[in-house]
Copies of this chain bind each other. A is one copy, B any other.
Amino acid sequence: MNREEWATQIAALEQESAPVRKEPITVSRIVTTALRLVEAEGFDALTMRRVAAALQTGPASLYAHVRNKADLDDLLIGTLSRNVAVPAPDPQRWREQVLDVCGQLRDQFLRYPGIARAALSAPPANLDTLRITEGLLGIFLAGGVSPQSAAWAIDAVLLYVSGYTFESSLRGGQPDRAEMLARLRMLPVSRFPNVVEHVDTLNSGEGHERFEFALRLLLDGLTTAG
């Protein structure tokens, strides 16, 4: 027995006396750690190494619980989807209900900047996102929308939510706003008459006005399309 082994045995002894066993790595620990990381530093900072480091281990340890980075991403949006409450269909208020669900999803995505990229890449067959699809489908059908229109509308609506939140997290820096306006005003009127004339209109939209506008457009179109 060399000196190193000797030290290991002593360490083991200490562990027995103070059983602060290192907590085992689990999928849920990985997921919560990853989410905390994304919330604090954005989706780009989410690397296997950083998650592993936060769990005080090496990157290889994660692969016993998670197939891939893509797999981890899926788990994340699954967890986020699970936080969305899907209401029981109320035929009178189906539009508001859809807006409500989308709003919840939007807020979940916005809370974790950049995670919408994972949502866009995630397979639509994820069980947790399917729960939302199921709920939306119920709401649409209760509202009298045809199955075909409902199916395609759900696709469009979810796609929009992901796209919207993804773009929002890109333009996280607000100082762009003034700079952007200035640049747009520099455009030659000869080539960009409409843009220059409506600069302020183009960049308007406080809060989630654009978000609601687009979704209402989709839903209002639905009623006329039957």
Instruction: Identify the A interface with B (CB < 8 A).
Output: 120-121, 125, 130-131, 133-134, 137-138, 141, 147-153, 155-156, 159-160, 162-164, 166-167, 170, 180, 183-184, 187, 191-195, 198, 201-202, 204-205, 209-210, 213-214, 216-222, 224-225
Contact = CB atoms under 8 A, between A and B. Distances in A.
23 contacts: A120-B120, A120-B163, A121-B170, A130-B195, A134-B193, A134-B195, A137-B198, A138-B193, A141-B194, A148-B204, A150-B198, A152-B209, A153-B214, A153-B217, A155-B214, A156-B213, A156-B217, A217-B217, A217-B218, A217-B222, A218-B221, A220-B221, A221-B224
A148 B205 CA distance: 9
Given A159-B164, A217-B156, A220-B225, A151 B192 contact: no
A220 B224 contact: yes
A209 B190 CA distance: 37
Nearest to A212: B152
A26 B121 CA distance: 34
Nearest to A224: B220
Nearest to A158: B163
B187 A130 contact: yes
A213 B159 CA distance: 14
A213 B225 CA distance: 9
A134 B149 CA distance: 31
A52 to B, nearest CB: 24
Contacts of A130: 187, 192, 195
A210 B155 contact: yes
Most interface-central of A138, A151, A209 (chain B CB within 10 A): A151
Contacts of A209: 152
Contact of A221 (B148, B149, B167, B217): B217
Given A141-B194, A205-B152, A218-B218, A125 B225 contact: no
